[in-house]
C-alpha cells in the first residue's frame, strides 16, 4: 500500500494548526519566516486583557501576535512579549538529545534558492546539505535534501526539499 494511502488509514483525524515561537525581535523574525522563507501574513495584532492573561498564564500580558501560514494553512505563531518581557534562552541550540522542542521542519520547493536568500540575509547554517530517506516509503520513492539553520530566536529550523526521481 502506498505511504499516502497508509497515512489516511492509520493516522488519527488530528492535524497540526500552528507552532508558537516567543521572539526576541519581531522584525528579524518576520524577515526570516515571511520575507526569506515566503510564509504569508495571516494575522498581526496586539492582544491583552483578562482572557489573554488566563490563556497565557500571565498577569497584565500584552503580546504582539503574528500568524504566518503556508499554502496548506499550517501556521507559525510569533509572539513578541511587550509585557512581561520575553525570557532569554541559551544562545545555542542544545542538540537533538535535549528534551523539548528540537526543531521546526519546513518543506521548501528549492533548497538551493532558499540557501542563497538566507546567506544573503546573514543567517548561518548548522550543517551541510545531507540526503535522507531514499530507503523509506515516507518520501514517495524519493529522498529529502535537508539543511539546518537557526532562526533569530535560537529555534533550529530544518529546511527540507523532497526530490522524487522523474519529477
> Mind listing the domains of the chain with CATH numbers?
1-87 (3.10.180.10), 102-167 (3.30.720.110)
- Mean pLDDT score of the chain, rounded to an integer? 85
Q: What angle do CA 118, 110, 115 make, to 5 degrees?
A: 20
Q: Is 81's pLDDT higher than 90?
A: yes
Transcribe 60-110 into DSSP letters: S-EEEEEEEE-TTS-EEEEEEEEETTPPPPPSS---TTSSS---EEEE-S-
The predicted pLDDT at position 16 comes to: 78
The predicted pLDDT at position 164 comes to: 79
Query: Can you tell me the distance from the alpha carbon of 99 to that of 161, in angstroms, rounded to the nearest whole number?
Result: 26
First to last CA, the chain: 21
Q: Is 1's pLDDT higher than 60?
A: no
Amino acid at each position: 500500500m502506498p505511504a499516502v494511502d497508509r497515512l489516511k488509514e492509520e493516522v488519527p483525524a488530528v492535524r497540526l494548526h500552528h507552532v508558537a515561537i516567543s521572539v526576541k525581535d519581531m522584525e528579524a523574525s518576520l524577515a526570516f519566516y515571511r520575507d526569506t522563507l515566503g510564509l504569508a501574513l495571516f494575522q498581526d495584532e496586539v492582544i491583552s486583557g483578562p482572557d489573554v492573561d488566563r490563556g497565557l498564564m500571565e498577569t497584565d500580558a500584552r503580546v504582539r501576535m503574528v500568524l504566518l501560514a503556508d499554502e496548506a494553512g499550517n501556521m507559525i505563531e510569533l509572539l513578541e512579549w511587550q509585557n512581561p518581557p520575553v525570557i532569554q534562552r541559551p544562545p545555542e541550540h542544545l542538540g537533538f538529545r535535549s528534551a523539548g522542542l528540537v526543531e521546526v521542519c519546513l518543506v521548501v520547493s528549492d533548497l538551493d534558492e532558499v540557501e542563497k536568500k538566507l546567506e544573503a540575509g546573514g543567517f548561518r547554517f548548522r550543517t551541510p546539505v545531507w540526503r535522507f530517506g531514499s530507503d523509506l516509503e515516507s518520501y514517495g520513492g524519493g529522498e529529502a535534501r535537508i539543511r539546518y539553520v537557526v532562526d533569530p530566536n535560537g529555534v533550529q529550523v530544518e529546511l527540507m526539499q523532497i526530490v522524487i526521481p522523474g519529477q
